[in-house]
Amino acid sequence: MLLRFVSRVLLCVLVLAGCAPTDAGAPAWASDLATVRESRLPVQARETLRLIDAGGPFPYRKDGSVFGNFEKLLPARQRGYYHEYTVPTPGSRDRGARRIVTGRGDEIYYTDDHYDSFRAVLR
């Protein structure tokens, strides 16, 4: 009984710390990050993905610009590998904090806290 309780508490701690696997079917590029299914993203993020897939047009001038990965939360790649797109935030007077970042290898990342954390988007 105690062993079962301890193992459950440990699993909860690992999940909260972001150390536990989040999706068994995740691609290799997503293995070190929390994941989110595309269907679980906010509707505005899904619309931004639709625009990315269509090649635009994008509502913000900076959409499609190079993402520098200065926070080093994504895998290190050469400059120009990643590009960022705004995910509109309802009620925000500016671009808000939500972004989609794409990589040349079809990677898709979502942040809702202006690059403080990322989740790999699974399609």
Q: What is the CATH number of the domain that holds 69?
A: 3.10.450.30
Residue 76 lies in a domain: yes
Mean pLDDT of the residues in the chain: 86
Q: Per-residue pLDDT tens for 40-56?
A: 999 999 999 999 999 99
Residue 7 lies in a domain: no
CA distance 66 to 27: 23
Residues 6+ positions from 44 with CB-CB distance below 8 Å? 87, 88, 89, 90, 98
Residue 44 lies in a domain: yes
71 is catalytic: no
Write the burial class of residue 70 (CB in 10 Å: 0-12 exposed, 13-18 middle, 19+ buried): exposed
Residue 10 lies in a domain: no
Instruction: Point out the catalytic residue in the list 38, 71, 83, 84.
Output: 84
83 is catalytic: no
Distances (CA, A) of 83 to 33, 48, 92: 18, 13, 22
CA distance 106 to 83: 11
The helix (H) or strand (E) run that includes residue 115 is: none
Residue 8 lies in a domain: no
Number of compact structural domains in the chain: 1
Q: Per-residue pLDDT tens for 52-105?
A: 999 999 999 999 999 999 999 999 999 999 999 999 999 999 999 999 999 999
Residue 19 lies in a domain: no
pTM of the predicted model as reported, rounded to 2 decimal places: 0.79
Q: Which of 70, 53, 77 is nearest to 114 (CA)?
A: 70
At residue 43, the pLDDT reads 98
At residue 14, the pLDDT reads 44
Residue 3 lies in a domain: no
Which structural domain, as residue segments, surrounds residue 68? 25-122
Residue 106 lies in a domain: yes
